[in-house]
Amino acid sequence: MLGIAKKEWKMSRSIEDYLKGIYSLQKKNEYSNKKLAEYLNISPASVSEMIKKLVNDKYLTIDKKNIRLTEKGNAFALNVIRKHRVWEVFLFEKLGYEKEEVHKEAEILEHVTSDKLLQKLEEFLFYPTECPHGKPIFYNLEDFDEKNIMKLSEVNEGDEVVILRMEENKELFNYLTELNINLKEKYVVNKKDPFEGPIYLQNEEEIKAVAFKATEMIEVYKI
């Protein structure tokens, strides 16, 4: 039984690598069986055999020798890439890996990541939009309610929020740097002064007063 499970895992990983490779090469307009063999470091004969299996399993279609990902294959490839890039963010931001080190580790982790773990990672990292190398992360935001995105000026006392993004403004950047307020940090709205007074944000360490004008330039996600 263990041998069968191991064989199935290897096949699943192989399919993931193939679909990711096909997607990546086609995005660069560089796809050919030979290029895919080089990408995966395997023989062209192995590629031809697997292509037939992927067509039979509805991941690919072949039209006049042109290979295309089906909707199923495209979604599968994007999900693997999503896992890879989210892991790269985690390794870089949370574990202190260098940018040059994260790819190799993510190549392993992407194959052993369940959808539930991926969702937890995305939530923990607060839905990063790109990996450390600047490549976009595609993910399903079903649990990310856009109605909860608002300006910091619109929050109420007691709300728990995460700093989502801010306007590109040098003065604002310097002001928030002085307050030590950063993206993806979580705060509770401790107090909101009337008549456009400051809004007080509290974390585990301290309470920070943020000028109302600045709060109009900051977007948060209400948890």
Question: Does residue 29 belong to any structural domain of this protein?
Answer: yes
Confidence of residue 189 (pLDDT cuts 50, 70, 90): very high
Question: Does residue 196 belong to any structural domain of this protein?
Answer: yes
Q: Say if residues 37 and 22 touch (Cβ distance below 8 Å).
A: no
Question: Does residue 190 belong to any structural domain of this protein?
Answer: yes
Q: What is the pTM of this model?
A: 0.63
Listed residues 45, 69, 93: the one ending a domain: 69
Question: Does residue 58 belong to any structural domain of this protein?
Answer: yes
pLDDT tens-digit map of 51-75: 999 999 999 998 877 888 988 998 8
Listed residues 69, 89, 106: the one ending a domain: 69
- CATH code of the domain in which 207 resides: 2.30.30.90
Residue 40, CA distances (Å) to 70, 85, 142 in order: 21, 18, 33
What's residue 54's pLDDT? 93
Question: Does residue 101 belong to any structural domain of this protein?
Answer: no
Of the candidates 28, 100, 43, 32, the one whose C-alpha atom is nearest the C-alpha of residue 66 is 32
- CATH code of the domain in which 63 resides: 1.10.10.10
What's residue 5's pLDDT? 37
Domain that holds residue 32: 2-69
Question: Does residue 99 belong to any structural domain of this protein?
Answer: no
Q: Say if residues 220 and 150 touch (Cβ distance below 8 Å).
A: yes
Please determine, for residue 92, whether its predicted confidence score (pLDDT) is greater than 50: yes
Confidence of residue 168 (pLDDT cuts 50, 70, 90): confident
Q: How many domains does the chain have?
A: 2
Confidence of residue 139 (pLDDT cuts 50, 70, 90): low
Listed residues 69, 93, 128: the one ending a domain: 69
Of the candidates 157, 158, 156, 179, the one whose C-alpha atom is nearest the C-alpha of residue 166 is 179
pLDDT tens-digit map of 5-53: 344 435 578 899 999 999 888 887 888 889 999 999 999 888 989 999 9
- Residue of 87 and 168 predicted with greater confidence: 87
Confidence of residue 145 (pLDDT cuts 50, 70, 90): low
Question: Does residue 217 belong to any structural domain of this protein?
Answer: yes
